[in-house]
Chain A
Amino acid sequence: DVKVTQSSRYLVKRTGEKVFLECVQDMDHENMFWYRQDPGLGLRLIYFSYDVKMKEKGDIPEGYSVSREKKERFSLILESASTNQTSMYLCASRERGEQFFGPGTRLTVL
């Protein structure tokens, strides 16, 4: 089975802090994604990566950056966390059109 893991289930940070969210997949997938999920808005794509060191902006990249130095790992970075970035963050990897999700990180920015 494909396994996608995220470094934390719950995270509490303060405004202005730099935040790293890590995602690791074990199936050698080339494509990986970061979404944020907010009630009533569904999943919104922040960034995706179609290969190592390759990245593309999604629908809401502002305030975020990403890093993909190794195939299995895709990191989301909040350079200076703000309260409006309080959300559920979901990582996914993709194979043959299907996306496989991690358990999510619920981030609260105070």
Chain B
Amino acid sequence: AQSVTQPDIHITVSEGASLELRCNYSYGATPYLFWYVQPPGQGLQLLLKYFSGDTLVQGIKGFEAGFKRSQSSFNLRKPSVHWSDAAEYFCAVGGSNYQLIWGAGTKLIIKP
């Protein structure tokens, strides 16, 4: 069955430190992969997406993600986090049909 796993429910990082959020997926075909961010009390905004090509994807707000087919992973990274990055982050995988399969989300907490 298709699934997305975000193993960390919460992550706490000091402001200025680097960040990596993990995402593993199970999908039979070549996936489309997404990371979305949800600031507190708001809707979801796309950070970045991978459809094909270069396995390192650049997104908005200084985020990037690396697609590793052999590990079925699509981890999100940022070299230096800012207090405004505190939010919930969702990984999703989709294919040729209409739907996306969503991870349960990782809540990022920033320590001053």
Contact = CB atoms under 8 A, between A and B. Distances in A.
Contacts, number: 46
Say whether chain A's binding surface is mostly helix, strand, loop, or mixed: strand
B43 A103 contact: yes
B99 interface: yes
A74 interface: no
A99 B100 contact: yes
Interface residues of A, number: 24
Interface string B28-39: 000010101000
Given A97-B49, A97-B51, A45 B99 contact: yes
A104 B42 contact: yes
Interface of B: 9, 32, 34, 36, 42-46, 49, 51, 90, 94, 98-100, 102-105
